[in-house]
């Protein structure tokens, strides 16, 4: 299937000296980034809006895309405390009325409305694979997996050492939760992982709330990676991992959301929460956590940046040129997403871009996000109707404020 060439003109890229710039897109990939636009049949003039690589969500669980649940035992000492409480709740019983396929679709739309078109859905293959090809967001398709290192870990994968070796042999990431809590098991989990011989450059560690200085030294020496989910960590544990210490050791840190039920609204909120948690963090470094750092951790050689030959995964924000990138991040809202592009095809954008969607043969639903008219790849409105019917009531999802 051939895909039309088109371009985005008269935009600006945070951290990029040249302004304005144009991004040329051919065969779903970035062709060139130039100062002067070329002649093109399909062209979008941004009139000075901001262009970024679309965000890579480093940790999610799409099956748990539903209303957030904090529980009575907050702040929780371990993930198991929260998990036991949520599974005994009426909200979990309500979520179970909704089909897994629809929960996955809901999770994918939640991601694209927050600027993320590539998602790491950390769950075993047999759960994820029936749905991954039909979603408006792309999922990481292959990786080594474990749940965690503890006496109460879920039985994911073929065992920690076997899954790690699988990942290393194939050049894939090996992903697991680490130190997700404050009990003895959590605090010993990194040491045990290292003793198993499963801590290396392919290892991607999620959360790390109770990592010690010595743990961080081991991670840095191994060249492993850390995923920070700031909104969810605060929502469930009222805590954050030692991110400053990780960064000072040169550990590659990227951002994720965790699931919607675990208090992760979307990548836009993860960026804002991270800025609130660490106001001294360089805004460009923070944006890198949502883009190029994640591409490094998950071995995505052709995503996460705006270089020629990369997949054309883009997010355009309704923001004029500024050197105050801290304020740029702090003030972003969901309605400020002007256009989201996945692999050269628009999946979400301002209603004023209707001709672009039509020119690229993208069928859409018309929605309103905080009273701003938007277009989204067709399927969302039918999805929300199905969920209403399955749940037997009207539901307002805070991460999907559509009308």
Give the pairing of strands 21-26 and 29-34.
antiparallel
400 domain-assigned: no
179 domain-assigned: yes
User: 368 - beta bridge partners?
Assistant: 373
Shared domain for 378 and 282, answered yes or no, is: no
Give the model's pLDDT for residue 40. Answer: 84
Shared domain for 18 and 162, answered yes or no, is: no
Quickly tell me which residue has 């923070």 as its tokens. Answer: 286
Of 345, 339, 392, 350, the C-alpha closest to 374 is 350
Shared domain for 26 and 82, answered yes or no, is: no
In angstroms, what is the C-alpha Rg of the chain?
Answer: 21
**What's the whole-model pTM score?**
0.97
403 domain-assigned: no
CATH number of the domain at 356, please. 2.30.40.10
Looking at the structure of the chain, the number of domains it has is 2
Shared domain for 244 and 149, answered yes or no, is: yes
Give the model's pLDDT for residue 403. Answer: 76
Give the model's pLDDT for residue 2. Answer: 65
Shared domain for 59 and 49, answered yes or no, is: no
Shared domain for 193 and 280, answered yes or no, is: yes
Shared domain for 171 and 200, answered yes or no, is: yes
297, 323, 347 - which closes a domain: 297
CA atoms of 336 and 318, how far apart (whole Å): 5
CA atoms of 277 and 258, how far apart (whole Å): 17
Helices (H), 129-229: 160-170, 184-195, 213-222
> Residue 284: is it exposed, middle or buried by C-beta count within 10 angstroms (0-12/13-18/19+)?
exposed
Token couple for 198: 């499963």
Helix (H, G, I), strand (E, B) or coil at 12: strand
Give the pairing of strands 174-178 and 144-145.
parallel
CA atoms of 47 and 390, how far apart (whole Å): 44
Instruction: Assess contact for 360 and 346: CB atoms under 8 A.
Output: yes
121 domain-assigned: yes
Give the model's pLDDT for residue 25. Answer: 96
CATH number of the domain at 145, please. 3.20.20.140
The full 3-state SS of 35-48, as one line of letters, equals: CCCCCCCCEEECCC
Q: At a CB cut-off of 8 Å and minimum separation 6, what does 379 contact?
A: 105, 109, 136, 365
Shared domain for 46 and 63, answered yes or no, is: no
CA atoms of 369 and 398, how far apart (whole Å): 11
Shared domain for 64 and 197, answered yes or no, is: yes
- Helices and strands, number each (H, E), in the chain: 15, 18
Of 86, 18, 54, the C-alpha closest to 262 is 86
Which residue stretches of the chain have pLDDT < 70? 1-2
297, 325, 359 - which closes a domain: 297
398 domain-assigned: no
284 domain-assigned: yes
Shared domain for 83 and 127, answered yes or no, is: yes
Instruction: Assess contact for 313 and 118: CB atoms under 8 A.
Output: yes
Domain encompassing residue 236? 55-297
Helix (H, G, I), strand (E, B) or coil at 296: helix
396 domain-assigned: no
Shared domain for 185 and 288, answered yes or no, is: yes
C-alpha atoms less than 13 angstroms from C-alpha of 137 in its C-beta half-sphere: 28
Shared domain for 272 and 143, answered yes or no, is: yes
Token couple for 306: 């705006």
CA atoms of 310 and 313, how far apart (whole Å): 8
Quickly tell me which residue has 């000296």 as its tokens. Answer: 17
282, 297, 312 - which closes a domain: 297
103 domain-assigned: yes
């Amino acid at each position: 299937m051939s895909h039309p060439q088109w371009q985005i003109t008269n935009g600006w890229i945070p951290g990029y000296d040249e302004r304005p710039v144009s991004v040329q897109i051919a065969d779903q990939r970035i062709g060139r980034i130039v100062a002067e636009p070329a002649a093109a049949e399909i062209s979008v003039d941004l009139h000075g809006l901001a262009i970024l690589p679309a965000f890579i969500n480093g940790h999610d669980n799409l099956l748990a895309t539903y209303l957030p649940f904090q529980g009575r035992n907050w702040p929780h000492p371990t993930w198991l405390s929260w998990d036991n409480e949520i599974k005994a709740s009426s909200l979990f019983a309500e979520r179970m009325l909704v089909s897994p396929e629809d929960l996955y679709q809901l999770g994918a739309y939640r991601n694209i409305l927050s600027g993320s078109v590539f998602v790491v859905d950390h769950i075993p293959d047999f759960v994820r694979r029936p749905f991954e090809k039909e979603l408006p967001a792309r999922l990481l398709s292959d990786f080594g997996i474990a749940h965690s290192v503890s006496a109460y870990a879920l039985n994911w994968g073929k065992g920690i050492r076997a899954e790690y070796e699988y990942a290393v042999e194939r050049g894939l990431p090996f992903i697991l939760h680490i130190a997700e809590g404050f009990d003895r098991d959590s605090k010993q989990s990194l040491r045990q992982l290292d003793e198993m011989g499963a801590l290396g450059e392919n290892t991607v560690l999620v959360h790390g709330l109770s990592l010690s200085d010595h743990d961080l030294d081991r991670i840095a020496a191994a060249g492993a990676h850390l995923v920070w989910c700031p909104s969810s960590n605060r929502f469930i544990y009222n805590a954050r991992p030692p991110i400053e210490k990780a960064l000072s050791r040169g550990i590659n840190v990227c951002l994720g959301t965790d699931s919607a039920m675990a208090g992760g609204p979307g990548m836009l909120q993860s960026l804002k929460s991270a800025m609130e948690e660490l106001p001294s963090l360089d805004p460009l470094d923070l944006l890198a956590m949502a883009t190029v750092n994640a591409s490094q951790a998950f071995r995505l050689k052709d995503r996460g940046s705006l270089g020629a030959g990369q997949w054309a995964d883009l997010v355009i924000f309704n923001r004029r040129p500024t050197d105050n990138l801290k304020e740029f991040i702090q003030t972003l809202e969901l309605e400020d997403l002007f256009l989201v592009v996945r692999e050269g095809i628009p999946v979400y954008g301002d209603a004023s871009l209707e001709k672009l969607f039509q020119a690229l043969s993208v069928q859409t639903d018309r929605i309103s996000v905080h009273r701003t008219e938007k277009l989204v790849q067709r399927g969302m409105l039918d999805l929300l109707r199905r969920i209403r019917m399955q749940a037997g009531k009207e539901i307002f999802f805070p991460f999907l404020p559509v009308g």
